[in-house]
């Protein structure tokens, strides 16, 4: 039982942190706040992470209700989410910014926006469709197990906290992390995300079509 909890906790933390991708969020933050004074940059970092945290916690706590409202089964959502995460992971492997996170148009429009904290930083960059999907699927896996649910909420908080700390220290990070290093890290995280996505799909298919699993 304890082993299952440890395994689930590791899955929750790795899944959420990888899909939130604090390093990629920090690079976009640096790009969007170029030329702004330090107090403004610190405010943007704080507000974007705060909004992203609220968004993910809302979906974590109410995601099951939302699925029931639209008549969507967990297994169907798990398969769809796995396909989405697979696509994001492939783009990470090829060192691209995922289109489900930030489009070129959103990035261009955000440069003239008075407040970029909500759009595009909080969403879709930090709390994008992939992060929301992962959170909902994990929370439904933990139904009835409050310890696992707490582990998922803790993973969300830790992922956002890491993102915030990296943003406020972005100047120091950018001195050490070049584009080459970023691509290497991104590809490794992309491979891990692809593996998680495949597991989501396999689990969903087995539950939906038990005959395929020999049931």
pLDDT of 97 reads 55
Task: Report which of 207, 34, 20 is spatially closest to residue 116, judged by C-alpha positions.
Answer: 34
pLDDT of 103 reads 55
Structural domains of the chain, count: 1
pLDDT of 111 reads 47
Which pTM value belongs to this model? 0.75
Where in the sequence is the domain holding 181, given as residue range(s)? 2-213
Task: Report which of 68, 117, 120 is spatially closest to residue 97, judged by C-alpha positions.
Answer: 120
pLDDT of 215 reads 53
User: DSSP secondary structure string, 2-29?
Assistant: HHHHHHHHHHHHHHHHHHH-HHHHHHHH
pLDDT along the chain (215 residues), means of 10: 82 93 86 84 94 95 86 81 81 66 52 66 84 90 86 97 96 79 77 82 83 62
The Cβ of residue 10 has, within 10 Å, a number of other Cβ atoms equal to 12
CATH of the domain at 62: 1.20.1250
CA angle in degrees (0–180, nearest 5) for 194-167-165: 90
pLDDT of 85 reads 75
pLDDT of 123 reads 83
pLDDT of 71 reads 86
């Amino acid at each position: 039982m304890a082993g299952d909890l440890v395994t689930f906790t590791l899955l929750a933390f790795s899944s959420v942190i990888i899909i939130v991708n604090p390093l990629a969020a920090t690079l976009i933050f640096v790009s969007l706040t170029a030329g702004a004074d330090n107090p403004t940059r610190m405010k943007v970092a704080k507000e974007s992470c705060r909004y992203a945290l609220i968004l993910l916690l809302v979906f974590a706590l109410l995601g099951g209700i939302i699925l029931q409202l639209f008549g969507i089964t967990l297994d169907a959502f798990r398969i769809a989410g796995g396909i989405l995460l697979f696509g994001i992971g492939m783009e990470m492997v090829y060192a691209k910014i995922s289109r489900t996170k930030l489009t070129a148009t959103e990035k261009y429009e955000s440069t003239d926006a008075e407040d970029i904290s909500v759009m595009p930083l909080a969403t879709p960059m930090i709390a994008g469709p992939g992060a929301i999907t992962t959170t909902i699927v994990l929370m439904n896996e933990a139904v009835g197990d409050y310890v696992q649910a707490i582990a998922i909420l803790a993973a969300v908080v830790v992922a956002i906290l890491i993102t915030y700390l990296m943003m406020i220290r972005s100047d120091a990070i950018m001195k050490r992390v070049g584009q080459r290093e970023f691509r290497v890290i991104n590809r490794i995280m992309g491979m891990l995300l692809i593996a998680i996505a495949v597991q989501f799909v396999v689990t969903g298919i087995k539950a939906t079509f038990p005959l395929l699993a020999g049931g």
